[in-house]
A and B are shown apart, each in its own frame.
Chain A
Amino acid sequence: MTKMRLGLLGAFAAMIAVTLAACSARRADTIVIGSKNFPEQALLGEILAQQIEARTHLRVERRFYLAGSYICQQAMLAGRIDAYVEYTGTALTAILKDPIESDPAAVFARVRSEYQQRFHFDVLPSLGFNNTFAIVIRGEDARRLHISTLSEAAPVAHEWRAGFGYEFMERPDGFPGLARTYGLQFSAQPRILDLGLLYRALLDKQVDLVAGNSTDGLIAARDLVILADDKHYFPPYEAVPIVRDDALSRHPELRAAINELAGKISDEQMQKMNYAVAGEGRDTAEVAREFLHANGFN
């Protein structure tokens, strides 16, 4: 009887031990880079990973295509990944649950200090581009009407039909706020289109203006123009590498390696890389390697 009881206690203890072991088993010289589940994120993760591999002696494990900000945040908290690239606006509203602001410097400062305080994560300087909402028109229209900003577009908007995704239409910081800020009025109610069809509809002249993301690949590949947000309505979504303090203290060489990339990726460069992967179907790692090589990193 006591033998059985001992056996059961042993099994229980083993269960606890395994739980604890599961948390700590990883090789000491390995860094895990995560990414969210769309091509731009995988590209950024790959760039980060290859840079670290080139500049340090660390092994990099890739854990890409995690299903979103929340998943990445949880993975960071649990130490399953050491770093990933987040967008400042998303960090502010989705993770920190703070109200959105439009001043990029203020947003960055806020995110940096709160991430350090609440999670002990270090927010490193932006990689250079701002993946925010982009109001896009055809290049020929921009040139013909001599407009390059949203304020300049407002007077002629009543001649246009607009096409937006469902979310952009519904979000208070989407179309409603935009229309108010710039006094935009279109010839008819904006059409709600599937995100994948927006650019097709624009190019086919079924609509004259769409809301996409500033790093969408098609913007570089076709003759399309982003109208500048001169009133700074859209919040900033600067791409920043976020790294666990824990990883940085174990491997201080990470900081220098990643900071070399600060400000090195422009909106256009990101668009081109996105198009290469999403539009041309090329391999993410290859496209990343090409970028790094072309810009003197390896």
Chain B
Amino acid sequence: MTSQPEATAGPIIEFRAAGYRLPHGAELLRGLNLTVSRGETLVLLGRSGAGKTTAMKMINRLLEPSAGQVLIEGRSTLDWDPIRLRRHIAYVIQETGLFPHYTVEQNVSLIPRLENWPPDRTRARARELLALVGLDAAQFLPRYPHELSGGQRQRVGVARALAGDPAILLMDEPFGALDPLTRVEIRREFIALQKRLRKTIVIVTHDTAEALLLGTRIGLMDSGALQGVYTPREFLHSTDPIANAYAQQLRDLEQFERGQ
């Protein structure tokens, strides 16, 4: 699975009545029907416990659906070898999960090394990836994660995830742990990156501005179900009470500014 457009028609990710129930009862997700087209950025927006992370984790089979199915490239996740599936899907989480005992270079070249790439190709790729996320290779490759700032760590996390040039990128509240200023900065860079990479991206967030800025579509989730899918413009002007509540957040800010 590469980033070249496939001859196969159809969505790259598809949820068909997908649901997830915990081993001891609680249903975290039910009846999710959703498609993601190749090259688009879908943002799953909702409050904590809405089921958005659950849905995302079903894409790379960290969770298996207890009802319905999730199809990647037209095949159910259960039919994929989970290891191969995950090697070709980038996964970025809020805490980054960088290996503390690896240098930045070792972290970033993890997937190439697992795939047994020749060492010079690996090294070149590492440099390439750091450049992609805006970090100076010479300075950062030999450093350890604990020597980096939050923003730098997040960038390395993204670089690491992209190493295998996967077609799909999953991001779970990737900028949530950053301070607001860094957040804005990284967001801006990410938008530029999006345009260059042309990958299918699924982002989980509870931040309205982020959803509007980054997403080509927004999937609003609440209490384990999909409330609706909107383009950013549709979302802003929606009359749906939940969508409205989120949009209101932004209007309050505008009002505050105008009031000053």
Contacts and interface: CB of A to CB of B under 8 A. Distances in A.
- Chains A and B in contact, CB within 8 Å: yes
Interface of A: 1
A1 B107 CA distance: 12
A16 B32 CA distance: 59
Nearest to A4: B101
B98 to A, nearest CB: 15
A1 B106 CA distance: 10
Q: Is the interface of A mostly helix, strand, loop or mixed?
A: loop
Contacts of A1: 101-102, 106
Contacts of B101: 1
Interface in B95-134: 101-102, 106
B258 to A, nearest CB: 57
B103 to A, nearest CB: 10
Interface of B: 101-102, 106
Nearest to B101: A1
B223 to A, nearest CB: 45
A284 B102 CA distance: 67
Contacts of B102: 1
A1 B109 CA distance: 14
Nearest to B106: A1
Query: Would you list the 3 A-B pairs with minimal beta carbon distance, nearest first?
Result: A1-B101, A1-B106, A1-B102
Contacts of B106: 1
Nearest to B102: A1
A1 B100 CA distance: 12
A231 B172 CA distance: 97
A271 B170 CA distance: 93
B116 to A, nearest CB: 15
A111 B106 CA distance: 69
A23 B102 CA distance: 42
3 contacts: A1-B101, A1-B102, A1-B106
B139 to A, nearest CB: 22
A141 to B, nearest CB: 87
A228 B101 CA distance: 82
A34 to B, nearest CB: 52
B37 to A, nearest CB: 41
A1 B101 CA distance: 9
B106 to A, nearest CB: 8
A1 B102 CA distance: 8
A297 B215 CA distance: 107
A1 B113 CA distance: 13
B173 to A, nearest CB: 30
A63 to B, nearest CB: 50
A6 to B, nearest CB: 16
A9 to B, nearest CB: 18
B19 to A, nearest CB: 41
A7 B15 CA distance: 49
A190 B102 CA distance: 81
A1 B99 CA distance: 12
A5 to B, nearest CB: 13
A239 B101 CA distance: 67
A261 B16 CA distance: 98
B101 to A, nearest CB: 8
B113 to A, nearest CB: 11
A1 B105 CA distance: 13
A1 B110 CA distance: 13
B238 to A, nearest CB: 52
B105 to A, nearest CB: 12
A175 B101 CA distance: 74
